Amino acid sequence: MKLQRPLFLEGEAGVGKTEIARALANGLGTKLIRLQCYEGLDINQAVYEWNHTRQVLEIRLMEAAGNVDREAANADLFSENFLIKRPLLQAIDEAEERPPVLLIDELDRSDEEFEGFLLELLADYQITIPELGTYKAAHPPIVIITSNRTREVHDALKRRCLYYWVDYPDYQKELQIITARIPDAPRKLAEQVTAFIQEMRETELFKIPGVSETLDWLSALLALNQTELDPAVIDDTLGMMLKYQDDIDTVKGEPVRAMLERSKNRGPRRGGRRQG
């Protein structure tokens, strides 16, 4: 934070990149402003746009009153009263002394043109609106950018950031996460779920389950009043962990039984996903 450089978090979907931003905002006692990226994202959705509905209504009210001064009306219609501030402008124009955490989530989903705009914004933390002038951050936001690496983000943007790869957590860390998030879960079930997920991540799958799937699965098991794992309940709830039918077909049945047996040997000293 002292370097005032964005933190670029890259890793597989579901490993907890977004949660890092939330935890940072909570820890600092500051606001979290999130921009969810997607294909076709442009300045209107990311920075600002004018409230055209209110502007049209205001024009009609002026006409009805019969006192339309075009120059005055134009200045009024393009004032902050009709400005819709989107996440990037919100972060730049934040009035609080404590800077917000700006989360630019899943940047790899956006287009390269938006990357170029973002690069300029991060250079000086200011935004110019032709009708109103330049907004410059009095206290630059703490910027966290995440990417699931569905495409490569341009090197120019990465060079401006501090880079960190977020991997799947090991057994002990994942157990700490799920017991903190779901404190009512029986300890034995939480340990079994964590160990089984760790074992599953070593299977060749199209989409490896992340921490978010671990939490979803444990919540589903609690809703089913399960206190421990068995092959039948795992087969019945595979859809909470795996999101592709081919993956479900790969592990269902005997592979689940084998993974459950192997997972019994896992513990705090083992975990993660073996390499190679």
pLDDT score, position 251: 96
- Measure the CA–CA gap between 28 and 18, rounded to whole angstroms: 16
Question: Which alpha helices (H) appear in the chain, and where do they start and end?
Answer: 17-28, 43-46, 52-65, 70-77, 87-92, 112-124, 155-159, 171-181, 187-200, 211-223, 231-236, 245-251, 254-263
- pLDDT band for 170, please (50, 70, 90 cuts): very high
Give the pLDDT confidence of 146-168 residue by residue, as tens digits.
Answer: 999 999 999 999 999 999 999 99
Choose the weakest-confidence range: 55-59, 169-173, 261-265. 55-59
Least confident window among 14-28, 88-102, 103-117, 170-184: 88-102
234 — pLDDT class (breaks 50, 70, 90): very high
pLDDT tens-digit series, residues 65-82: 776 667 667 778 888 999
* Per-residue pLDDT, 94: 78
Q: Which two tokens stand for residue 54?
A: 């209110």
pLDDT at 66: 74
pTM score, two decimals? 0.84
pLDDT over 80 at 103, yes or no: yes
- In Å, how far are 41, 202, 241, 273 from 276, measured between CA atoms? 38, 10, 23, 10
DSSP 160: T
Greatest mean pLDDT range, 54-58, 133-137, 255-259: 255-259
Backbone angles phi, psi at 275, to 5 degrees: -90, 155
pLDDT (0 to 100) of residue 96: 75
Q: What percent of the chain has pLDDT over 70?
A: 93
What's the Cα-to-Cα distance from 81 to each of 18, 61, 73, 219, 268, rounded to whole Å? 32, 16, 13, 45, 56
- Which of 190 and 3 is assigned the larger pLDDT? 190
Which residues make beta-bridge pairs with 37? none
Sign of torsion, CA 125 127 133 139? negative
Rounded to 5 degrees, φ, ψ at 117 are: -65, -45
Mean pLDDT, rounded, for 109-131: 91
| Tens-digit pLDDT profile for residues 188-218 | 999 999 999 999 999 999 999 999 999 999 9
The separation between CA 245 and the C-alpha centre of its own chain, rounded to angstroms, equals 25
Q: What is the pLDDT of residue 68?
A: 65
Write down the pLDDT at residue 274: 44
Average pLDDT over the chain, rounded to an integer = 91
Q: For residues 219-225, give the mean pLDDT.
A: 97
